[in-house]
Amino acid sequence: MQPIVIGLALAIALVGSLGGCASPGTQLNNEAKLGLYRAYAGEPAGSFRYFGRLNGWTPLGDEALAVWTRPSEAYLLELFGSCQDLDFAPAIRISNQASTVYAGFDSVTPAGAGAIGMRNIPCRIKTIRPLQVKALKEAQRELREASAVEREQQGG
């Protein structure tokens, strides 16, 4: 339980240091969300197993995203440069080699008719870092609760 508390303190300090990027009652901006995910990411891994279906994904700006391969297994993918339309794409495609996604070789491609200016340009994966899913979800829950308390105190 102590690593969660330390990680949460780090995440709260990071969010606070971003100078009001998230006001009470609003969601964290992409920079703050990416900082939170980085706080709960492990050391870089060269690859992860991928069987053609994701359990979910979250864009974290235009240079990173989190992908869930199972409800309890997720990875932070940081990309080489900006990935056009990542924030607006309703779906993504991930290239893979024999059901394995490799950093430095495979790509994420924003996909779907709803994406703004969709050009289906692949974005190469720079790093893959496994996420501590339970700790990340706990930190997100605690940040939501802290935001609710702050809203309540300001609203009277």
Phi, psi of 152 (to 5 degrees): -65, -40
Q: What is the pLDDT of residues 34-66, one digit of tens each?
A: 999 999 999 999 999 999 999 999 999 999 999
DSSP 45: B
Q: Any residues with CB less than 8 A from the CB of 152 and at least 6 apart, and which?
A: none
- In order along its 156 residues, the chain shows pLDDT tens digits of 344 444 544 444 444 444 344 443 345 788 999 999 999 999 999 999 999 999 999 999 999 999 999 999 999 999 999 998 898 889 999 999 999 999 999 999 998 755 455 567 899 999 999 999 999 999 999 988 988 888 888 875
Q: Any residues with CB less than 8 A from the CB of 77 and at least 6 apart, and which?
A: 64, 65, 66, 67, 108, 125, 127, 128
pTM here is 0.79
